[in-house]
Copies of this chain bind each other. A is one copy, B any other.
Amino acid sequence: MVDEVILLGYWPSTFGVRTRIALEEKDIKFDYREQDLFNKSSLLLEMNPVHKKIPVLIHNGKPVCESLIQVEYIDETWPGKIPLLPSDPYQRAQAKFWGDFIDKMVPGLVRLMWGAKGEEQEAGKKEFIEMLKTVESELGDKTYFGGEAFGYVDIALIGYYCWFDAFEKYGNFSIEAQCPKIIAWAKSCIKRDSVAKSLPDSEKVTELVPELKKKMGIE
């Protein structure tokens, strides 16, 4: 049987990018279907009835939800190609720890970008910078988080990269000044075909922010 792989996404999503990159790394052909999050399709509602969110990976008709779970699923389903997670249980647990940590950066980013003003926005920015510095110290002087091998933690973090310009513009700060090694790492990542093909254009993302704020009823 030929695998039927469908990905429901929304182009600027930091999470959808992860799943796209994982599929590209594994060289899996997939049918990408852009979703309107302000007018959700019956397919999206049927495939992710609990969260009603993208990305949804639909493999032979069956949905897998949550981007990092999708990355693991892709790695386990197509193990023959480049591994995304280490095989050693301890190293796997460490990778999952950092994936989870990177997901925990979202509340700070939400306060930085969406709705919060003044002190609350500053607190969101501070939280993001502190967490990114923690991630940077985990990266250290390695090429990728797993050393020479691109994988799960890189995929988890690189999804945010196309939003860095927007974070800087709305937070009025420089990520490179705070975390130069993260920027160097991101520049290595975008040399990979999988990332270059999947990552949205930063400029378009930044331009979209006012429109998104309007749609969300902010400002």
Q: Are A134 and B50 in contact (CB under 8 A)?
A: yes
Residues of B within 8 A of A96 (CB): 66, 69, 72
Is A77 located at the chain interface by the 8 A CB criterion?
Answer: yes
The one of B62, B65, B89 in contact with A76, judged by C-beta atoms closer than 8 angstroms, is B89
Q: Mark A58-93, 1 if CB is under 8 A from B, else 0.
A: 010010111001101100110000000000011011
Q: Are A90 and B69 in contact (CB under 8 A)?
A: no
Q: Whole-angstrom distance from the CB of A98 to the nearest CB of chain B?
A: 9
Q: In the complex, A59→B92 CA distance in Å?
A: 14
Closest to A131 in B: B50
Is A101 located at the chain interface by the 8 A CB criterion?
Answer: yes
Q: Are B92 and A73 in contact (CB under 8 A)?
A: yes
Q: Are B62 and A90 in contact (CB under 8 A)?
A: yes
- State how many residues of chain A have any CB contact under 8 Å with chain B: 22
Residues of B within 8 A of A65 (CB): 97
Q: Are B66 and A89 in contact (CB under 8 A)?
A: no
Would A101 and B64 be within 8 Å (CB), given that A73-B89, A77-B89, A92-B73 are in contact?
no
Sample of 14 more A-B contacts, CB < 8 Å, known A69-B100, A77-B89: A50-B101, A59-B90, A62-B90, A65-B97, A66-B97, A66-B100, A69-B96, A70-B93, A72-B92, A73-B89, A73-B90, A76-B89, A76-B92, A77-B90
Q: Jot down 16 A-B pairs with beta carbons below 8 A, ordered by A.
A: A50-B134, A64-B90, A64-B94, A64-B97, A66-B100, A69-B93, A69-B96, A70-B93, A72-B92, A72-B93, A72-B96, A73-B89, A73-B92, A73-B93, A76-B89, A77-B90
